[in-house]
Structure 1
């Protein structure tokens, strides 16, 4: 092991250490953001319906409570940031398990949709993280993604790979 690699390993935390607690806080942050966004969407929909004399009133029929969180998560995780704003604030990133690169939009959509279904199931599928050595929930497993600490990744010039694999 060369000197640079040894110092990198010492300075960086393990990729999965403390991820569960950080994910819970990230969900709370994202929930607050979604709450504000939902009020803005409903208010905007109401104003649009008012200004169009009811012609745009059909927008009230869209299931905003499901559409908005899925769009929020998919666009956030599928972006170059590879994290929702809450995850980014908590120092987390989402990575594709197969190559530890940025997840695709398909993976982001699958993960976000399955997360919404997990919450609809009372959050029970989320408990899988407590039994996984890498803190993976069922939506992580089915979307082939990992949530890791951003500080555990190598710099972008090194393709964002993990310093130490934790299995």
Structure 2
């Protein structure tokens, strides 16, 4: 008889693999955005050239993360592939748009700080990074959510 995995089992490794998947998707997406902006600038004889000046390297990942986490999936595509979901710490529900934006923006700032705030996950029993803490979110295994009917179950699991 095997015990089913808990909500936080193997989350760090899954998050790292999810990041690689999301980074690859963002790379392709950024090529499409830059290429589209450049094409539009050429077709409008430079009038739409201002689009090339936008800080896409910061805006695109924040939009990608925020809209993905705030979607009904409650995860980025990489997280979904790796069987992860983001939940509100307070009630275990899907995160709000504000929580998704806060988590994603602080995540981007964590990388700007050399990734050091991400190391907090190594010292947390629920593998939470600083952007998780400040946005009141948890990253859990999706399989656990399917089995758990009580949304307070996530808040109670603090092993």
Mapped contact 1:48–1:56 kept (Cα < 8 A): yes
What is the aligned-residue RMSD (CA, Å)? Answer: 1.9
Runs of 4+ in 1 over 2 A off after TM superposition: 158-164
Aligned to 1:122: 114
Aligned counterparts, 1:10-25, within 5 A: 12-25=4-17
* 1:56 paired residue number: 48
Contact conserved, 2:91 with 2:151, CA < 8 A, in 1?
A: no
Unaligned runs of 5+ residues in structure 1 are 1-9
User: What SS does the corresponding residue of 1:99 show, helix, strand or coil?
Assistant: coil
1:79 match:
71
Number of equivalenced pairs: 158
User: Structure 2, unaligned stretches of length 5 or more?
Assistant: none
Q: Aligned residue for 2:34?
A: 42
Query: Are the aligned partners of 1:97 and 1:145 in contact in 2 as well (CA < 8 Å)?
Result: yes
Q: Which has the larger radius of gyration?
A: 1
CA distance in 2, matches of 1:162, 1:151: 14
Compute the displacement of 1:165 (Å). 1.8
1:153, distance to aligned residue in structure 2 (A): 1.3
Evaluate the alpha carbon distance shift between residue 123 and residue 112 of structure 1 in structure 2; reply closer, same or farther with a 3 A threshold: same
Q: Which whole-Å CA distance do the structure 2 matches of 1:14 and 1:108 have between them?
A: 23
Q: Secondary structure at the match of 2:59?
A: helix
Match of 1:146 among 127, 138, 155: 138
TM (norm. structure 1) is: 0.89
1:32 matched to 2:24? The reply is yes
CA positional deviation for 1:121? 0.7
Q: CA deviation at 1:68?
A: 0.2
Cα pair distance change 1:159/1:58, threshold 3 Å: farther
